[in-house]
Amino acid sequence: MKTIFRTIIIASAALLAAACGSNAGKQTEQQAAAVVAEDPTVAVVEVFTREVPQEAVYTSTVQAYVKNNIAPQMAGRITKINVEIGDFVKEGQILAEIDKAQLLQAQLQLQNQEVELQRLKSLYEAGGLSQSDYDAIQMQYNVLKTQVENLIENTTLRSPINGVVTARNYDVGDMYAMSMPIFTVEQIVPVKLLVGISESDYSKVKKGDSVSITADAIPGKTFYGKVNRIYPTVDPATRTFTVEVKVDNNYKTLRPGMFVRATINFGVNNNVVIPDVAVVKQQGSGERFVYVLNEDNTVTYQKVVLGRRMGAEYEVLEGISNGAKVVTGGQIRLKDGIKVTVNE
């Protein structure tokens, strides 16, 4: 009898425990369901249209605005050199002199020819010389005079520009053999940059656009220039258009060969600007989306076209209107059309 009673008690306890466990499980499921049923909480910001500077950064190398190779048009021995590499020279300054023996001989011939021309002129005016004979003598004189002028130019070498001497290939006493220039003079006030512009930016750039320039060799300093020339054809190797930028360089700080970064300002556009944390990248594609909060607290999964990135913000070209409210936090639990709770 005792054994039967004990068995009944154990069985009752087991049933009671099972019932309690079942109720607890139901309560847990109900609580979980309640949690799932709660609207996701999101952070939202209102976005607006504003002026967005249109800029693009390109790399380039500083070049002399003008580069001249200084050399005579004939062979000759160098008798004098007046400048060295690194010297700044003025337009018209004498850089070197070539042996003048041939020049002196030609000048003597010119003097004799001039005396003869004056004598024949008097004879011609008196009727003792025909027009054709006088014209022939006059032509001989003019040819010889031109030869002398050319010899003067080619025996006294002058700089055609204000610039700096960047190369000297001969010494005094060397015979110039027309193989390489005696000097190279480069104009560095101003200087120029040749910038390769992408095809997408070609339609934006205009002559006179402002350009800011920085050089790794001169940290903390910004230089300014303007677009001076736009080349009309694309480089088939790089698929870029060449744009020439002119930089005043009044203090001669920029030097040919320096590596620089040029930021070209294409003006401003008025577009909506959104925080970068609002942008969601579509997996498997390059498309970008933003969750937009509607008046009924639902969200729309909106495709956007982005423009410039400016620090922690993006310019939006298409997809978001002025005054829209975009989700900036909590996107991981969202899907198109879902209702949300806004975190105030």
Model confidence over 116-138: pLDDT tens digits? 888 888 888 888 888 998 889 89
Task: Please give the Cα distance from 216 to 59 (Å, whole number).
Answer: 11
CATH for 56-63+187-268 is 2.40.30.170
155-174 mean pLDDT: 97
The domain locations on the chain are 41-52+270-342, 56-63+187-268, 72-180
309-334 mean pLDDT: 95
Amino acid 87: pLDDT: 97
Give the 3-state secondary structure of residue 25. Answer: helix
Contact 184, 66 (CB under 8 A): no
C-alpha angle 205/245/93, rounded to 5°? 155
Residue 30 has pLDDT above 60, yes or no: no
In the block, tokens 């005016």 appear at 125
Amino acid 10: pLDDT: 41
Between 288 and 2, name the one with better pLDDT. Answer: 288
163-183 mean pLDDT: 94
pTM of the predicted model as reported, rounded to 2 decimal places: 0.69
Residue 280 has pLDDT above 90, yes or no: yes
Amino acid 37: pLDDT: 56
Within 13 A of 55's CA, how many CA atoms are on the CB side?
Answer: 14
Pair of tokens at residue 48: 């607006």
Model confidence over 314-325: pLDDT tens digits? 999 999 999 999
CA distances from 286 to 11, 20, 39, 279, 280 (A): 65, 54, 29, 12, 10
78-106 mean pLDDT: 96
Amino acid 125: pLDDT: 84
> Could you confirm whether domain 41-52+270-342 is CATH 2.40.420.20?
yes
How far does Cα 196 stand from its chain's mean position?
7
301-321 mean pLDDT: 95
Question: Strands 341-342 and 41-46: what pairing?
Answer: parallel
Between 266 and 160, name the one with better pLDDT. Answer: 160
Give the 3-state secondary structure of residue 10. Answer: helix
Residue 257 has pLDDT above 60, yes or no: yes
Mean of the per-residue pLDDT values for the chain? Answer: 89
